[in-house]
Amino acid sequence: MAAFRGLAMSGGQLVTAILTDRAPKPAGHYTQAVVSGAHVFVSGQLPIRADGRPLDDDGFEAQARQAIQNMLEIVRAAGSSPQQIVKVTAYIVGIANWARFNAVYASMLPDACPARTVVPVPELHHGYLVEIDAIAVREP
């Protein structure tokens, strides 16, 4: 289930906030995604289950799968699809995890090949190993 909330921006452009219970609720001053016209901007998603419970496995691959799954659920809640994702940015702890991330990513988005940036970082919030955000398009 997705909730939509219109937010006014300068110039009168309408921005719609996306909130789905199929991904973790925002833990700060942000929304899961915003829609503006035909564009969907997904906030960074950590490997947190929608219900807030810990992952059964906290290894890198499991964290990558959960973070990507959260992103995909939000994209769908915004009325888009994996094939309409145009840009992904992934932050991964340690360059050694790049190939592992690639394998999980390719298995979860087999028919989508958006532009992508992978950024190795020394650490992420709460000790997580992956964070991912995206930009998608949809019918306005």
**Is 70 exceeded by the pLDDT of residue 120?**
yes
**Is 60 exceeded by the pLDDT of residue 104?**
yes
Q: Which pTM was predicted?
A: 0.91
pLDDT (tens digit per residue) in 38-76:
999 999 999 999 999 889 999 999 999 999 999 999 999
Give the C-alpha distances (Å, rounded to integers) separating 40 from 34, 74, 104, 134, 140.
6, 9, 23, 8, 10
**Is 60 exceeded by the pLDDT of residue 12?**
no
What proportion of the chain, given as a percentage, has pLDDT over 90?
Answer: 86
- Over its C-alpha atoms, the chain yields an Rg (Å, rounded) of 15
